[in-house]
Structure 1
Amino acid sequence: MNTPEQYQFSGPVTVFQETRLPEKATPAGYSALIDAYKVAVPLPRTLSATGEHHRIIERDGWRIMTPRHAPHPTLDGHLTFALKYEGLDLAILKRLFQATGPAPIEALVRESPTGSYARRIWFLYEWLTKSRLDLPDANAGRYAPVVDPDLQWAAQEQTAPRYRVKDNLPGTPDFCPLVFRTKALEEFVGLDLPQRAQAIVADVPRDLLVRTAAFLLLKDSRSSYAIEGERPPHDRIQRWGRAIGEAGRQPIDRDELLRLQRIVLGDARFVKLGFRQEGGFVGEHDRDNRMPLPDHISARPEDLSSLIEGMAAFDRGRAQGLDAVIAAAILAFGFVYIHPFEDGNGRIHRYLIHHVLAARGFNPPGFVFPVSAAILEHIDQYRRVLESYSQRLLPLIEWESTPQFNVRVLNETGDFYRFFDATPHAEFLYACVQRTIERDLPDETAFLRRYDQFRQQVDSFIDMPEHLTDLLFRFLHQNGGRLSNRAREKEFAALTDGEAERIEAIYQQTFGSD
C-alpha cells in the first residue's frame, strides 16, 4: 500500500477526465478522491468542486461551491465533504478503500473517535470490504445514520453498536443501488398514487372491474413483448400475462428467475435456458468480421451468483421500508443491467416492477398497472434512462472478442452492478406508474362502460351474436365511426341502410370523436 504522502490532491482545473468544468475550480469530494487515488469507477452524474466566487452554480454535470465549502486537502477532508454534500457512492467508496488499505482509515477514526463522519466511514469500510479494522468498539458519540435521509432514500434503521451508527442501507454488500431525493420524486410520493387508484375503482361495478383488470393485464403482456420487437402467438402473450397476474406471490430467488425465464421464452429449442456461463452484451456486430459493438456489457458470469443473491436479499430485506416504486426501480433496473440470461432479460426486468408493486400492495387487489404500455409509449426516454448508466459504465470495462463473437470481460466489474445511482430510473418509473393510474385505469373503465352501452343499444333492435357485435364495433372504431363499403358488402351485407345508419348514430352517441 502507498503512503498517504504519495497521493496529491488537485488544485484548480478547467478540465477533469475529459469533461470541461463551467469555470475554473478545485475538485472536491468524490472528484478529488477519484483523481488522487486513480480510482477507476463510473463517474457520478454530478461532480463537485469549489470555486473562487461566493455563489453556487450547477451546470454541465458539475456543482461548483464557494470557497468556504472547500475541504481540507486530505483523505479525511474530502471523504467528509463527500458524505456531507454528495451522499453515498458505494462503488467509489469501495474502490477507494481498496486503494487506501486499512491504515489510513484506522488513523482517521483514531483522530476523531466520536465524530459522526469518522464513524460512518469506519462502518462503510468494514461493510464494503467485509473485513475488520484494528479498532476497539466505539463507546461515545451520538448514533448517526449511515445514509443521510435528507440526501438519499433510506431503509429502516438498525443500530450498529460497534460504530454507534444506524445502518439504514437498503441492500447488502452484494447489491445496494441508491436513489437521491429529488424534487420530482418528492412530488411523486406526495401524490399518494395507491390511494388515487383505490378511489378510481371504488365506485366501479365488480363485473366491470374484472374486465378492466383483464384488459390491462393483457395490454401489459402484449406491450412487454412489443418493447423487445417481438410478436409472439397469442397463447404466449396470455401465458406471460397470467405470470404477471401472479406477481408478488413468490419471493425473488434463483429458482423463481429460472421459472420466469421458462415461461417467457416458451419454445426454447434455439436458446440456452439458465444463467449465462459466458459473457453477454447488448448491441450489434460489425458486418465485416462480426466484432461485437456493445452498447452495454453485462455482468461477468462469475459474478452472477453473488449479484442474484444480493437482489434476493434486497427484495426480502430492509428495502421493504423503501417507497414501493423506488424499490421496484432499483430491483428491476439492477436486474436488466446485470442481464443474467442469454434471452428473456427485458421481460423479466419489467415483471420485477409488477412483483414489487404487488408485494407491497401498491395496486388494488387483482389489478396490474400496464407499466409496459407506458414504457412502450415513451420508448425513447426509456432507452435514455437505460443509457444514463450504461454509457458511464462502458468505458470502465476491459473486454476482448471471443471466437463465438461474444465478449469476455477482463477486469473486475462486479461492483459496478452492485452499486449505481438509480435516481433517473426511479423518476422515469414513477412517471409511468402515474400515467397508468391517472389515465389508463380510468380510461379503460370509461371505455368499457361506453362499449356496454353501445352493445346494449344495438342488441335492443337487432339480434346479433356477441362476436359479430365485437367485429361491428372494431370496424366502426377503425373507420371513424362509419361502416366501410367493404364491411357493408361482406361481413354486414345483411344490414339495411337504415340499420347501418342507426348503428353509426349509436356509435357517435356513445363514443363521439373518440
Structure 2
Amino acid sequence: MILGTTQIRPAGYAFLIEQYGLSALPNWHTSSVSPTGTLRSTVQDGREESVYPQSYWPGDGTGGHLEFALKYDGVNLGILSALFDVVPPEEIAAWVNSKPTGKYARKIWFLYEFLTGRELPLPDLTKGNYTPLLEPDRYYTAAPGRRMQRQRVIDNLLGGKDFCPIIRRTEKLDAMEGIDLRKRCEEVAASYPPELLRRALTYLYNKETKSSFEIEHIKPSPSRTEKFIGLLEMAEHKDFCEKPLLIDVQNRIVDPRFQDSDYRANQNYVGQAVSYQKQVVHYVCPRPSDLPELMEGLLTAHHVMKKGALPAIIHAAAISYGFVFMHPFEDGNGRIHRFLIHNILCLRGEIPKGLMFPVSAAMLKNPELYDHSLEAFSNPLMRLVEYNLDDLGQMTVTDETGPLYRYIDMTAQAEALYDFVKITIEHELVEELDFLANYDKTKQAMQQIVDMPDRLIDLFIQLCLQNNGRLSARRKESHFGFLTDDELAGMENAVREGYARN
C-alpha cells in the first residue's frame, strides 16, 4: 500500500520488502523519503537510516525503487534474489528496456539473470562502455572481473550464484588496510634473535591449538593436540579449500567416533540446554539438502578471491566465516573455521615464513568481539528461520532458507578479523616472544645461583609466576627442599626481575 504524500514513505529496499512481503536479511542501509526537510541520517549498531527530501522519491514502480536501492542502499543480493522470485520477468524486462543504456538498468538486468538463472527477453547490447557491477570505491571486488558483453557490465563479485558474500569498504576497513600487518609482523620478529624465533614457533603452535579447542570448552587428548599442530604446520604448504581435504581435516581433529565421510545429513544447530527438555537455540545451520550447493559455492568463491587481487584478510574472513555459518560437519566446524584463517593467510603471504599467528588466542581473550562477529549474521537470521524442535532435540526447518546463507554481508566479520590479526601481532605474538626472551634471561641468572636441570628450572619459574614471584612453602617442601634460604631468595628475585614487564 502506498502511503499518502504527507507521510514519510519507505524507499529503495524498504519499499520493495514492504510492497512484496519479502523475507530477507535486513540491509545495512535503510531509506525513506519525507515530504519536508533535508537529507538526514542516523547510525546505530552498524546500521544507517537515511531520510531523503521529496525530490528523491523514485515513483511508485518497482524499477524506480530498484534503481534507488542500488544508488543509495547498495547492492544486497539476498533482497534482490527474494524480489526476483516474485516479480514477473516481463516487468523487469520492460523497465530495463525503457532505459537500456542506463548503468543501473544494466546492473539490474545482469543481477536478475545471475541470481535467477533465467534470461530476460532482451537482445544483447552491442555498444556502450562497460560499467563495474560493484563500485571499487564502495566494495571489495574481484579484480579485474569478467566482462559480460550481454549487458556490458564487469562482473567483479566475490563469488557465484551459489555463494556470494558482499563486503563494503568502511572507514574502519580502509584504516586497517592502511596498516601493513605483514610489515608490522616482520618488524616485531626482527627485534628478537633468530634462534628464539625458531623456538617460539613450537610454543605458538601449541598456544593456537589450545586456544582453538578452549573456545569450544574442549580439552583435547595429546594425540588430537598433535594432529591439530600438524595441520597448522601444513597450513602454508597446501590449499585446503577442497571438499576431500576439508573432510580429511575434520577427520584429523575430532573424536574418531564423530568423523564424517561427507557433509552432514542431519539438521544441526547451535544451542544450549537451560532446563530439562528445554533448549535455547542461538543459530540454525543450513538444511542438509542445501549444503552441497552452498559448499560448492563457498569453494568457488575462494578461487575467485584468490585470483581477484583481494586483500588477504578480507579473503580469509569471507571464507572462514562462510564455512562456520554453513556448519557442514557434525563436529569440528569451529576449529576448521579458525584453521582456514591460517591456511588462507599463509597462502596469501600475509604471515612471514617461520611464524604463525595465534589468532584463536586473541579470540579467546576477546569473547565479546568474537561473539559479535558471529551474531552480526546469526541474530537477524534467527528472526527469519522457522523450525520445530522435538523432545529429543531433533530439529526440522519448515521453510526455504537456502538463499539466506548464499548472499551474506560479511563486512562485520572482515572488520573483526582485522581486529583479531592486529591484536595477535601486537599482543599475543609479542607476549609469547617476550616470555621466551625473559625465560632465557631468568634461566641464566638462576643457573649462576644453582645449576639445576632444565626441568626443575622450568617448574620453579612456572610455580613462581603462579604465585606473584614467590615459591610457596608447600611447593618448596615438595619440590625444592634441597635449596637453602639464600638460594631460594636469590632465585625468586631472579624470576621477579626477569619477568618484571609481565
- TM-score, scaled relative to structure 2: 0.94
48, 51, 64: which one aligns with 1:64:
51
What are the Cα deviations for residues 451-496 of structure 1, in whole angstroms up to 9, with x where unaligned? 1111122223422111111001101111111122122212111111
Tell me by how many angstroms 1:319 deviates.
4.9
Instruction: Tell which deviates more after alignment, 116-125 or 272-281.
Output: 272-281
Does residue 29 of structure 1 match 2:12? yes
Q: What's the % identity of the aligned pairs?
A: 37
Contact 2:106 2:151 in 1 (8 A): yes
Partner of 2:123: 136
Distance in 1 separating the partners of 2:3 and 2:372 = 33
Contact 2:142 2:304 in 1 (8 A): no
Partner of 2:398: 410
Does residue 444 of structure 1 match 2:427? no
Tell me by how many angstroms 1:64 deviates.
2.1
What are the Cα deviations for residues 300-344 of structure 1, in whole angstroms up to 9, with x where unaligned? 101111111111111122454221111111111111111111111
Distance 1:65 1:211, change over 3 A: farther
364, 371, 374: which one aligns with 1:376:
364
What are the Cα deviations for residues 150-192 of structure 1, in whole angstroms up to 9, with x where unaligned? 2221111221111111111011111111111111111111111
266, 288, 294: which one aligns with 1:278:
266
Tell me by how many angstroms 1:375 deviates.
0.7
Tell me by how many angstroms 1:359 deviates.
1.1
Does residue 195 of structure 1 match 2:203? no
Partner of 1:496: 484
Distance 1:200 1:284, change over 3 A: closer
Distance in 2 separating the partners of 1:9 and 1:80 = 18
The residue identity in structure 2 corresponding to 1:464 is M
212, 215, 239: which one aligns with 2:200:
212
CA RMSD across the alignment:
2.0
Partner of 1:465: 453
46, 65, 88: which one aligns with 2:29:
46
Partner of 1:148: 135
Instruction: Tell which deviates more after alignment, 75-84 or 390-399.
Output: 390-399
Pairs aligned (count): 495
Tell me by how many angstroms 1:96 deviates.
0.7
Residue pairs, 1:5-404, within 5 angstroms: 8-10=1-3, 25-51=8-34, 52-60=36-44, 61=47, 62-156=49-143, 157-248=145-236, 249-265=238-254, 267-269=255-257, 274-285=262-273, 287-288=275-276, 290=277, 292-320=279-307, 321-402=309-390, 404=392
Contact 1:455 1:469 in 2 (8 A): yes
What are the Cα deviations for residues 267-302 of structure 1, in whole angstroms up to 9, with x where unaligned? 3326766421121111135745x3654211110101
Q: Where in structure 2 are there 5+ consecutive unaligned residues?
A: none
Distance in 2 separating the partners of 1:337 and 1:200 = 34
Distance 1:450 1:264, change over 3 A: same
Distance 1:242 1:354, change over 3 A: same
Q: What secondary structure is seen at the aligned counterpart in 2 of 1:269? A: helix
Distance 1:381 1:326, change over 3 A: same
Distance in 2 separating the partners of 1:419 and 1:347 = 23
Tell me by how many angstroms 1:81 deviates.
1.1
Distance in 2 separating the partners of 1:276 and 1:72 = 47
Tell me by how many angstroms 1:225 deviates.
0.7
Instruction: Tell which deviates more after alignment, 332-341 or 456-465.
Output: 456-465
Distance in 1 separating the partners of 2:125 and 2:151 = 5
Tell me by how many angstroms 1:73 deviates.
2.5
Distance 1:116 1:9, change over 3 A: farther
Q: What secondary structure is seen at the aligned counterpart in 2 of 1:396? A: coil
Contact 2:449 2:491 in 1 (8 A): no
Partner of 1:19: none
Q: Where in structure 1 are there 5+ consecutive unaligned residues?
A: 1-7, 14-23
Tell me by how many angstroms 1:101 deviates.
2.8
Distance in 2 separating the partners of 1:286 and 1:369 = 36
Tell me by how many angstroms 1:262 deviates.
0.8
